[in-house]
Structure 1
Amino acid sequence: MSHPLEPIYALQKKDRRLIKILREIRDIPQRKSDIEAQLSGSKQKLEMALDSRKHTEATLKEQELGAEVLNEKITKYKNQQMEAQTNDQYRAFVKEIGMAEDEIKALEEKEIQLMESLEQGKAIEAECKARLDEDMAGIADELAELDARAAELQEKAKHMKADRARAAKSCDKALLQKYTRILNNKRDFAVVMVEPGGHCGGCHMKLPPQVTNDARNPTKIVACNFCGRIVYNPAP
């Protein structure tokens, strides 16, 4: 008389292989994230270079707008100067024009400095972009390999699930439900062999002699008194 645990034990072997495959599939996204995290330093440096360049451009634009406003003031003052009624009014416009021209000169000097900073910033940005591209190229092969591995595992898991479903049909339904419940709970083994010396193959605790004997009886399904796993003791 065959033991009803034989097909269950065979099914468990398939499940163990399937669980391993599914675990690897589940871990691949994290492995990819870990690899991509290597780019964080290069990405951060590029972002800082971009922000610095944009800030310099914005400041330069402000200086240019400021110079335009001052030039408009100078034009206005010169027109008013031509209409001055007294020497004091004339001298006042000369003073205003001179102050505006001094401000423009200061702005132009600052613009020169900003333009130099902008060119330096663009060079740094290009360098950071090149470094990021180089780093990305370095991990591209690793990411491609992981994608290929994921596709391979998905296909393999598909066939293993179909094979598992066929094997489950030969198992006792009630026993299959019990096995599935224990496997989901223990996450490793639901059915374990009785080890030499009468120990549980799951928790390795010493089993009572009666449990050891009953585990060999095909008419009985017994569990470990300590871990609750089904114990199987096939005849030699």
Structure 2
Amino acid sequence: MENTVAQKIEALSKVQQIDSELDAIRKLRGDLPEEVQDLEDEIVGFETRIENLKKDLGEVEANIDQYRGKIQDFKKRITYLEEQQMNVRNNREFDAITKEMEMLDLDIQVAQKKIRDNEAEETIKRERVTDTNERLEERRKDLTTKKAELDEIMAESEVDEQKLLKQREKATKHLDERLLRSYTKIRDNSSNGLAVVSVKRGACGGCFNTVPPQRQADIREKKKLIVCEHCGRVLTDVEIIEEAEPTPKRRSTRGRKATTKKK
């Protein structure tokens, strides 16, 4: 059986009331959930950075080993050529061997420079690993502290929050999906989380713009959903402020002359 407009309005008001109570509970947590999430993301970033630095370090160390191996090969070749130089038959062979040895000596110098460059890079990366590890440990300590604070706050409000969530689930069953989506959209766009409000003193309880008398009458009838033409919030009721009756003024006797009876 489809709910009447009045029932939908009542359900909307109930959902809004529950959501406002949930907002109040979550407000107690402040920025802690976001801070915890930010710290967790930062820690993942540091861990990824350390992993990449260690990978780079491995490549640098491999380069150093490679150049050292080349230097050993060059030196072995020079030793061999020195032996060959002792057995040359003419100056031409001697000059050719000498030239090759000079080239090998230059290759050794280039390899040594490459080693120095890689060792300098290795030092920088190791310092970065150390620095990043220190910052990582600091963030982990911060995360532990923040999580403890958040867990304590959540433990205090968890029972009430779960109770409200069950009530909300029950209340939303009286709303069709399209109406619930519209409610959620209005609420998300509202700075105070209010999507359903009453008319107070002739004005919308959300944006405080005046609601015409005819629309107020339509709201009271509850025959159709009425929204504020300025902010789009659902208007569910009109609060009537009764004015107190004026207190009768006492007649003043100041300035009156007392009358006496003549004898």
TM-score range, shorter chain: 0.5 to 0.7
For residues 144-168 of structure 1, the C-alpha deviation after alignment (integer angstroms, 9 at most, x for no partner) is: 2477379757776543221223456
Contact 2:196 2:235 in 1 (8 A): yes
CA deviation after TM superposition for structure 1 residue 110, in Å: 4.2
Residue 160 of structure 1 corresponds to which residue in structure 2? 164
TM-score by length of 1: 0.61
CA distance in 2, matches of 1:164, 1:222: 20
Q: Equivalent residue of 1:233, what SS?
A: strand
Residue 190 of structure 2 corresponds to which residue in structure 1? none
Residue 184 of structure 2 corresponds to which residue in structure 1? 184
CA distance in 1, matches of 2:195, 2:122: 68
Query: AA paired with 1:209?
Result: P
* More displaced stretch, 146-155 vs 128-137: 146-155
Matched, 1:207 2:211: yes
What RMSD in Å do the two structures reach over aligned CA positions? 4.9
For residues 176-197 of structure 1, the C-alpha deviation after alignment (integer angstroms, 9 at most, x for no partner) is: 448635423421444322211x
Matched, 1:141 2:144: yes
CA distance in 2, matches of 1:101, 1:143: 62
Gaps of 5+ in 2: 1-5, 188-192, 243-263
| Distance 1:77-1:28 versus aligned 2 partners, 3 A rule | same
CA distance in 2, matches of 1:137, 1:222: 51
TM-score by length of 2: 0.57
Gaps of 5+ in 1: none
For residues 83-110 of structure 1, the C-alpha deviation after alignment (integer angstroms, 9 at most, x for no partner) is: 53x2426634762575367447636864
Residue 19 of structure 2 corresponds to which residue in structure 1? 15
Query: AA paired with 1:229?
Result: V
| Distance 1:87-1:162 versus aligned 2 partners, 3 A rule | same
- Larger CA Rg, structure 1 vs 2: 2
Aligned length: 225
Residue 69 of structure 1 corresponds to which residue in structure 2? 73
